Amino acid sequence: MKVVITGGAGFLGKKLARRLLADGAIVGSSGKPEPITELVLFDVGHASGPGLDDARIRTQAGDIADAATVSALVRGAATVFHFAAVVSAGAEADFDLGYRVNLDGTRHVLEACRAGGACPRVVFTSSLAAYGGALPPAVSDDTPLTPQTSYGAQKSIGEFLVRDYTRKGYIRGTAVRLPTICVRTGLPNKAASTWASSILREPLTGRDVVCPVTGDTVMVVLSPRKTVDAFMRAHDLPADAFGPARALLLNGIRVTAKELEAAIGRHAGNRRTGRVEWQHDPAIQAICNGWPQGIDSAKARSLGFEVDRDLDEVVRHFIADDLDEQLKLVAA
């Protein structure tokens, strides 16, 4: 069977690709695991990296907002993981680009699935940015979507599209509402949440880092390892497991910027670590302050979705899974 990952050159896209290759199979239209014969990684550039030289992989570079490109990409796919997006601060800074990629691109993916007529499984990544304004101490499965940014609006619209295309029988879709993924490898980007990874990643590779928010700023985080587990579980569960909303809010652990900084020392070992420099950015602070300060998803727990035990486990996962690759990137 053919599987497509949009945003396949990104951190989570490549993580998921390696997991799919290792498993070798994924639940298909039969409801049973079927061998993966083709895994297409689509992004603005070609995906590369350790473990991606498998004969089953095809990398493709292109524009998710080009309907003809996406139509050809999705043709014949039994599963699409739709991760491609402009990140939060980038979508807020460039209104047109955000809607072109995050809304038009999503619609093109869904339309391509509809045109194929095979009702593929679609897993769409949404975000806590779908919430905003006056929020309870912890958002739950019943908290309404009230986005306060363009990115949050685009992700919310994407959720409703996935719901409607599923209702009409064009796809079997699930929207997974993610907390902040920590720790990501790579370089800092324009995401308003990028500091949550940078504050650990950069010092542990010997580099100084600037944190744009105050030390008491809260972020709800989930490790990449648990996130990939969640993608696989969300894909493989029966179609009716998520109810008519077709959305799942993932739980995470609540940490502050200062707690992230403190974790560096506990896991430094014999490494020379960099310093955290606190340089307040009011625009980034405003975006982060508008996000949920906690998550309480009974649905995710009941369906068996797991979270990290604590922040130290998150850091240990990064050191075990990704630190060597990050050090090579820094050296290059």
194-219+253-293+310-331 CATH choice from 1.10.10, 3.90.25, 1.10.3430, 1.10.8: 3.90.25
Fold of 2-181+221-249: Rossmann fold (3.40.50)
Per-domain boundaries in the chain: 2-181+221-249, 194-219+253-293+310-331
DSSP lists the bridge partners of residue 119 as: none
- As annotated, the active-site residues are 151
Q: Which residues contact 227 (CB under 8 A, 6 or more apart)?
A: 12, 15, 178, 181, 250
Instruction: Determine the longest span between alpha carbons in the chain, in angstroms.
Output: 57
Query: E strands along the chain, which residues?
Result: 2-6, 25-27, 33-35, 38-43, 57-61, 77-82, 121-127, 139-140, 172-178, 180-181, 209-211, 218-222, 247-249, 253-256, 276-278, 295-296
Q: Report the amino acid identity of residue 234.
A: A
Q: What is the CA radius of gyration of the chain?
A: 19
- Distance, in Å, from the CA atom of 83 to the CA atom of 96, rounded to the nearest integer, reads 19
In tens, the pLDDT along 45-99 reads 999 988 899 999 999 999 999 999 999 999 999 999 999 999 888 899 999 999 9
pTM: 0.94
In tens digits, what is the pLDDT along the chain, a chain of 332 residues?
999 999 999 999 999 999 999 999 999 988 899 999 999 999 999 999 888 999 999 999 999 999 999 999 999 999 999 999 998 888 999 999 999 999 999 999 999 999 999 999 999 999 999 999 999 999 999 999 999 999 999 999 999 999 999 999 999 999 999 999 999 998 877 788 899 999 999 999 999 999 999 999 999 999 999 999 999 999 999 878 999 999 999 999 999 999 999 999 999 999 999 999 999 999 999 989 988 999 999 999 999 999 999 999 999 999 999 999 999 988 88
* SS3 assignment, position 58: strand
Rounded CA-CA distance 55/162 in Å is 31
**Upstream peptide bond of 87 is cis (omega within 30 degrees of 0):** no
- Cα end-to-end span (Å), the chain: 36
